[in-house]
Amino acid sequence: MHKLLAGGVAMLIAGSAWAASVQEVGDRYMKLVLAVGQHDASYVDAYYGPPLLQEQAAREKLSLAAIRSEAEAARKALPPAGADTDGDEALRIAFLDKQLQSMVMRVDMLNGKKFTFDEETATMYNAVAPQHSRAYYLELQDRIGKLLGGEGPLADRVKAFRARVEIPKDKLRPVMEAAIRACRERTAKYIAMPANESFVLEFVQNQPWSGYNWYKGDAHSLIQINTEFPIYIDRAVDLGCHEGYPGHHVYNALLEQTLVKGKGWQEFSVYPLYSPMSLVAEGSANYGILMAFTPEERMAYERDVLYPLAGLDPALAEKYAALTQLFGKLAYADNDAARAYLDGKATRAQTVEWLVNVLLYPPEKAEQRIRFYDANRGYVINYTVGADLVGDYVKRHATSADPDTARAQRWTAFRQLLSSPRLAGSLR
Range(s) of the domain holding residue 40 = 3-114
3-state SS, residue 147: helix
- The helix (run of H) or strand (run of E) holding residue 188 is helix 172-188
Q: State the pLDDT at residue 82.
A: 80
- Do both 218 and 338 map to the same domain? yes
CB 187 within 8 A of CB 250: yes
Does residue 16 surpass a pLDDT of 80?
no
Distances (CA, A) of 280 to 153, 338, 352, 390: 37, 20, 28, 7
Q: Tell me the per-residue pLDDT of 291-324, one tens digit each, with 9 for 90 and over.
A: 999 999 999 999 999 999 999 999 999 999 999 9
Tell me the Ramachandran region of residue 156: left when phi exceeds 0, alpha when psi lies from -120 to 50, beta otherwise.
alpha
- Do both 91 and 169 map to the same domain? no
- Do both 218 and 147 map to the same domain? yes
In a domain, 127, yes or no: no
- Do both 138 and 110 map to the same domain? no
Does residue 1 surpass a pLDDT of 60?
no
Query: Under 8 Å CB-to-CB from 192, ≥6 apart: which residues?
Result: none
How confident is the prediction for the chain on average, in pLDDT? 94
pTM reported for the whole predicted model: 0.93
Percent of the chain whose predicted confidence (pLDDT) is above 90:
91
In a domain, 119, yes or no: no
In a domain, 125, yes or no: no
Tell me the Ramachandran region of residue 112: left when phi exceeds 0, alpha when psi lies from -120 to 50, beta otherwise.
left
In a domain, 124, yes or no: no
Does residue 13 surpass a pLDDT of 70?
no
In a domain, 128, yes or no: no
Does residue 4 surpass a pLDDT of 50?
no
Does residue 14 surpass a pLDDT of 50?
no
Percent of the chain whose predicted confidence (pLDDT) is above 70:
96
- Do both 366 and 260 map to the same domain? yes
- Do both 28 and 74 map to the same domain? yes
- Do both 183 and 91 map to the same domain? no
Q: State the pLDDT at residue 19.
A: 55
- pLDDT bracket for residue 283 (50, 70, 90): very high
In a domain, 108, yes or no: yes
**Which of 47, 82, 114 is at the close of a domain?**
114
- Do both 73 and 170 map to the same domain? no
Does residue 12 surpass a pLDDT of 50?
no
- The helix (run of H) or strand (run of E) holding residue 270 is strand 270-272
Who has greater pLDDT, 364 or 219?
A: 219
In a domain, 120, yes or no: no
- Do both 183 and 274 map to the same domain? yes
Q: What is the mean pLDDT of residues 379-399?
A: 97
**Which of 51, 84, 114 is at the close of a domain?**
114
- The helix (run of H) or strand (run of E) holding residue 413 is helix 403-418
Q: Tell me the per-residue pLDDT of 203-216, one tens digit each, with 9 for 90 and over.
A: 999 999 999 999 99
Task: Report the alpha-carbon distance of residue 131 to residue 106 in Å, rounded.
Answer: 24
**Which of 114, 143, 166 is at the close of a domain?**
114
- Do both 155 and 57 map to the same domain? no
In a domain, 387, yes or no: yes
Number of domains in the chain: 2
- Do both 298 and 422 map to the same domain? yes
- Do both 171 and 108 map to the same domain? no
